[in-house]
Amino acid sequence: MAAIIDSHTHSNFSPDSSMTIKEALEAAEKIGLAGLAFTDHLDLKTPDGDMRFAFDPALQQREAILHRKNSKVDLLSGVEIGLQPGNLKETSEYLSNYQFDTIIASIHFVDGVDPYKGDYYLGLQKREAYGRYLELIYELTQLYQDFDILGHYDYISRYAPYKMRSLFYREFPDKFDAILSSLSQSGKSIEINTNTYRHRNGETPRLDLNIFKRYRELGGEFVSIGSDAHTSERIGEQFEYYLFQLKSCGFKYITHFKERKAVPVKL
């Protein structure tokens, strides 16, 4: 996997990860990745008031500098911001004090509820639960534009209780078109997040390639790949398979960001 960067990883600066920067770099080198972006969580004003998800980028970057000197793989500085209707101003102010290679924008809470805990889906059919999530992605990424990659657009399918959990373009064409058109026009990247395609709740959600084909039809150029790894054994997980899938859709490059600029790597 020469020149491929894992654009979405979490070190122990994220409260839900115990993986050190050193461990992640060793794992990346072992499997032949060109580099990693450490995109630790920044979720401000969470509904439960959990301030653990407001890491100090200065500390993270200081430690990264120490490891960068001896690393054989590239080490990029990043952040994954969790967008919510009530935290956009605070997020912008927080980030203004730091410089990053890449910023991922993700949605972790839907109307004040984290789908990870399962309560969000109670009383909702799949169409309602997933549709609201896609609406929020569009609404919030229109209001907040300072990001490079749209993270795990299919997060909503990871923990759902439905028999068929995969998120398909055909189910929400209008909502997807709005999101994909916006990303294309603003030069932002959509992410293949391999953490979604793991076995949970009796099923393994699958990637709908029609989403990426449509994104390309709408002029989209940039696709990034990230493991969303919180442990070292998941670094670069399933990359070869999904990069092959992406190539089958007509994409010639996978993209990561350095100093907030797109870096295409030939597939």
pLDDT tens string 15-54: 999 999 999 999 999 999 999 999 999 999 998 877 788 8
What is the predicted pLDDT for the residue at 181? 98
CATH number assigned to the domain comprising residue 234: 3.20.20.140
Output the CA–CA distances (angstroms, integers) from residue 59 to 7, 27, 72, 213, 241, in the order listed.
20, 22, 22, 40, 35
What is the predicted pLDDT for the residue at 55? 87
What is the predicted pLDDT for the residue at 52? 81
**Structural domain span for residue 195:** 5-266
Query: How are beta strands 35-42 and 149-150 bridged, if at all?
Result: unpaired
Give every strand in the sheet of 74-82, ordered side by side: 5-9, 35-42, 74-82, 102-106, 149-150, 189-193, 223-226
Contacts of 242-248 spanning 24+ positions with Cβ under 8 A = 242/192, 242/194, 242/197, 242/207, 243/1, 243/4, 243/267, 245/207, 245/209, 246/192, 246/212, 248/209
Tokens of 196: 């979604």
Whether the pLDDT of residue 255 is over 80: the answer is yes
What is the predicted pLDDT for the residue at 1? 62
pLDDT tens string 144-190: 999 999 999 999 999 999 999 999 999 999 999 999 999 999 999 99
Tokens of 254: 């996978």
Q: What is the number of domains present in the chain? A: 1
pLDDT tens string 71-128: 999 999 999 999 999 999 999 999 999 999 999 999 999 999 999 987 899 999 999 9
Locate all alpha helices (DSSP H) within the chain, ordered by sequence.
21-31, 57-68, 88-95, 126-143, 173-186, 209-217, 239-248
Please give the average per-residue pLDDT across 226-231, as a whole number.
98
Euclidean distance between the first and final Cα of the chain, in Å? Answer: 9
| pLDDT mean across residues, the chain | 95
Asked if residue 178 lies in contact with residue 137, where contact means CB atoms within 8 angstroms, the answer is no
Output the CA–CA distances (angstroms, integers) from residue 18 to 10, 14, 68, 117, in the order listed.
9, 8, 19, 20
What is the predicted pLDDT for the residue at 49? 79
pTM: 0.96
Length of the chain: 267
pLDDT tens string 113-155: 999 987 899 999 999 999 999 999 999 999 999 999 999 999 9
